[in-house]
Structure 1
Amino acid sequence: MLKKLLPIALLLTCHTFATHAAKPDENVVITSGIEEYRFVQGKNGPEIKHSTTLEYQATRRSERIRPHIFHSNIISLDKASGGKAQYRNANSPTVFHDDSKVCYFDILLDRKDRKAKVQFRRTFTDGAHFTGVFPSEEYPVRSKQIVFHIPASLPAIELVDRHFPASGITRDDRTAPDGSRTITYNVSSLPEIPDDTHQPSALSALPHIMVRGYFPDCDSLYRYHRPMLDVDTVIAGASATVAGLTDGAKDRLEAIGRIYRHVQQNIRYVAFEAGEAAYRPDTPAEVMRKRYGDCKGMSLLLATLLNRAGIEASIAAVGTDVIPFRIAEAPSLAATNHMICIVPDGDSWLFLDPTHEQISARHIPEWIRGKDAMMFTSEGYRMIEIPSTSPVASADILNYNYRLTPDGLSGIAYRHYSEDMAEHFIKSYAEVPGQHLNELLAKALVPTQRAAVPADSIIYKKDTPGEITFWAPILNTAALTEADNTIYIDMNTSGDPLTSRIDTDERRSDYQFPMTGLIKRRTTVMIPENVDVTLPDNYRHEGPIADFSCIFSREGQKINMTKTLLLHTARLPLQEIPDWNKAVSTWNEACNQQIEIRLRN
Structure 2
Amino acid sequence: MRYTSILLLLCMLGITTLSSAQESPEFIKYKNAYPDEYLARLKSQRLIDISIEDNQIKISQTIAEEDLLLNETAQFATEESVEYSSFFLLDKIEASSMVFDGKKYREYEVTDFVRKDELSESFYDDTKSVNFLYPKLQQGAIKKLNYTTSITNPRFLSPVYFGNVYPLINQKVEIMVDKDINLRFEKFNMDGVDVRFRESEKRGRKIYTWELENQEAYDIEDNGPSPKKILPHIMPIISSYQSKNEEIAVLKDVKDLYSWYYSLVKDINQEELDEELVAITNDLIGSKTSEIDKVKAIYYWVQENIKYIDFEYALGGFIPRDANAVFQKKFGDCKDNSSILKEMFKIANIKGSLTWLGTRSIPYRYTEMPTPAADNHMILTYENEGKTYFLDATGRYLPLEIPSSFIQGKEALIENGEGDYKIVEVPIVEADQNLFTDEVTIKLEDNSIKGNGTLSLTGYQKSTLFNSIENRDTQDKLLEYYNSFLRKGSNRFLIESFEEKNKYSYESPFQVDYAFTIKDYAQSLNDEIFINLNLYKTAINAYKVKEDRKTALEFRYRSKDSITVIFEIPEGKEVTYLPEDVTVDNDFMSASITYKKEGNTIVYTHAFETKTLTLEKETHDAFRKSLKKINKAFKEVVVLK
Class of the TM-score when normalised by the shorter of the 2 chains? 0.7 to 0.9
Counterparts of 2:42 and 2:489, CA distance in 1: 48
Counterparts of 1:442 and 1:537, CA distance in 2: 30
Taking structure 1 as reference, are residues 97 and 388 closer, same or farther at Cα in structure 2, changes over 3 Å only?
Answer: closer
CA contact (8 A) 1:45 1:126 kept: no
CA contact (8 A) 2:225 2:552 kept: yes
The residue that corresponds to 1:475 in the other structure is: 517
Taking structure 1 as reference, are residues 478 and 490 closer, same or farther at Cα in structure 2, changes over 3 Å only?
Answer: farther
The residue that corresponds to 2:31 in the other structure is: none
Kindly provide the amino acid, as one letter, of the partner of residue 79 in structure 1: K
| Deviation readout 1:449-486 (Å, 9 max, x if unpaired) | 53433376453643321544333211123442233433
Taking structure 1 as reference, are residues 473 and 455 closer, same or farther at Cα in structure 2, changes over 3 Å only?
Answer: closer
Question: TM-score of the superposition, structure 2-length normalised?
Answer: 0.82
The equivalent position to 1:25 in structure 2, one of 25, 32, 36, is 36
Kindly provide the amino acid, as one letter, of the partner of residue 464 in structure 1: S
| Deviation readout 1:509-555 (Å, 9 max, x if unpaired) | 32222222212322222335765433211111122221222222233
**1:491 shift after superposition:** 1.2
**1:256 shift after superposition:** 1.4
Aligned residues: 573
| Deviation readout 1:280-310 (Å, 9 max, x if unpaired) | 1122222222222211111121121122112
Kindly provide the amino acid, as one letter, of the partner of residue 53 in structure 1: A
2:440 matched to 1:440? no
2:532 matched to 1:490? yes
CA contact (8 A) 1:396 1:415 kept: yes
| Deviation readout 1:418-446 (Å, 9 max, x if unpaired) | 22222333445677786634312221011
The residue that corresponds to 1:312 in the other structure is: 351
| Deviation readout 1:140-183 (Å, 9 max, x if unpaired) | 3221212222332222x22222123634x403131428774322
Identity %: 19
Counterparts of 2:483 and 2:613, CA distance in 1: 27
| Higher deviation after alignment, 50-59 or 452-461 | 452-461
Counterparts of 2:597 and 2:544, CA distance in 1: 34
Taking structure 1 as reference, are residues 496 and 521 closer, same or farther at Cα in structure 2, changes over 3 Å only?
Answer: farther
The residue that corresponds to 2:450 in the other structure is: 410
Counterparts of 1:430 and 1:148, CA distance in 2: 51
CA contact (8 A) 1:57 1:109 kept: no
Kindly provide the amino acid, as one letter, of the partner of residue 201 in structure 1: S
The residue that corresponds to 1:260 in the other structure is: 299
Taking structure 1 as reference, are residues 517 and 286 closer, same or farther at Cα in structure 2, changes over 3 Å only?
Answer: same
* Matched position secondary structure for 2:181: coil
Question: TM-score of the superposition, structure 1-length normalised?
Answer: 0.87
Taking structure 1 as reference, are residues 33 and 202 closer, same or farther at Cα in structure 2, changes over 3 Å only?
Answer: closer
The residue that corresponds to 2:142 in the other structure is: 115
The residue that corresponds to 1:399 in the other structure is: 439
Write the mapping of 1:256-295 to structure 2, written as runs, cut at 5 A.
Answer: 256-271=295-310, 273=312, 275-295=314-334
2:239 matched to 1:199? no
Kindly provide the amino acid, as one letter, of the partner of residue 521 in structure 1: I
| Higher deviation after alignment, 331-340 or 425-434 | 425-434
Write the mapping of 1:291-370 to structure 2, written as runs, cut at 5 A.
Answer: 291-370=330-409
Counterparts of 1:146 and 1:432, CA distance in 2: 52
CA contact (8 A) 1:91 1:98 kept: yes
Write the mapping of 1:25-424 to structure 2, written as runs, cut at 5 A.
Answer: 25-42=36-53, 45-61=56-72, 62-63=74-75, 64-82=77-95, 83=110, 84-92=112-120, 95=122, 97-155=124-182, 157-164=183-190, 166-167=192-193, 169-176=194-201, 180-192=205-217, 194-212=219-237, 213=239, 214-229=250-265, 230-232=267-269, 234-271=273-310, 273=312, 275-390=314-429, 393-406=433-446, 408-424=448-464
Runs of 5+ unmatched residues, structure 1: 1-22
**1:272 shift after superposition:** 6.4
| Higher deviation after alignment, 506-515 or 214-223 | 506-515
Please tell me whether Structure 1 or Structure 2 has the larger radius of gyration of its CA atoms.
2
**1:263 shift after superposition:** 0.8
Counterparts of 2:124 and 2:70, CA distance in 1: 42
Taking structure 1 as reference, are residues 405 and 59 closer, same or farther at Cα in structure 2, changes over 3 Å only?
Answer: closer
CA contact (8 A) 2:489 2:534 kept: no
RMSD of Structure 2 on Structure 1 (CA): 2.9
**1:592 shift after superposition:** 2.8
CA contact (8 A) 2:337 2:393 kept: yes
Counterparts of 1:429 and 1:91, CA distance in 2: 27
2:611 matched to 1:568? yes
The residue that corresponds to 1:20 in the other structure is: none
Kindly provide the amino acid, as one letter, of the partner of residue 222 in structure 1: Y
The residue that corresponds to 1:557 in the other structure is: 600
The residue that corresponds to 1:465 in the other structure is: 506
CA contact (8 A) 1:550 1:564 kept: yes
CA contact (8 A) 2:466 2:504 kept: no
Counterparts of 1:179 and 1:415, CA distance in 2: 71
Kindly provide the amino acid, as one letter, of the partner of residue 342 in structure 1: T
Counterparts of 1:178 and 1:162, CA distance in 2: 31
Kindly provide the amino acid, as one letter, of the partner of residue 450 in structure 1: N
Runs of 5+ unmatched residues, structure 2: 1-33, 96-109, 240-249
Counterparts of 1:304 and 1:193, CA distance in 2: 46
Taking structure 1 as reference, are residues 582 and 112 closer, same or farther at Cα in structure 2, changes over 3 Å only?
Answer: same
Counterparts of 2:84 and 2:136, CA distance in 1: 26
Counterparts of 2:35 and 2:619, CA distance in 1: 21
Counterparts of 1:171 and 1:184, CA distance in 2: 8
| Higher deviation after alignment, 240-249 or 434-443 | 434-443
The equivalent position to 2:578 in structure 1, one of 535, 548, 551, is 535
Kindly provide the amino acid, as one letter, of the partner of residue 351 in structure 2: E
* Matched position secondary structure for 1:176: strand
The residue that corresponds to 1:521 in the other structure is: 563
2:587 matched to 1:548? no
Kindly provide the amino acid, as one letter, of the partner of residue 551 in structure 2: S
Counterparts of 2:360 and 2:129, CA distance in 1: 27
**1:189 shift after superposition:** 2.4
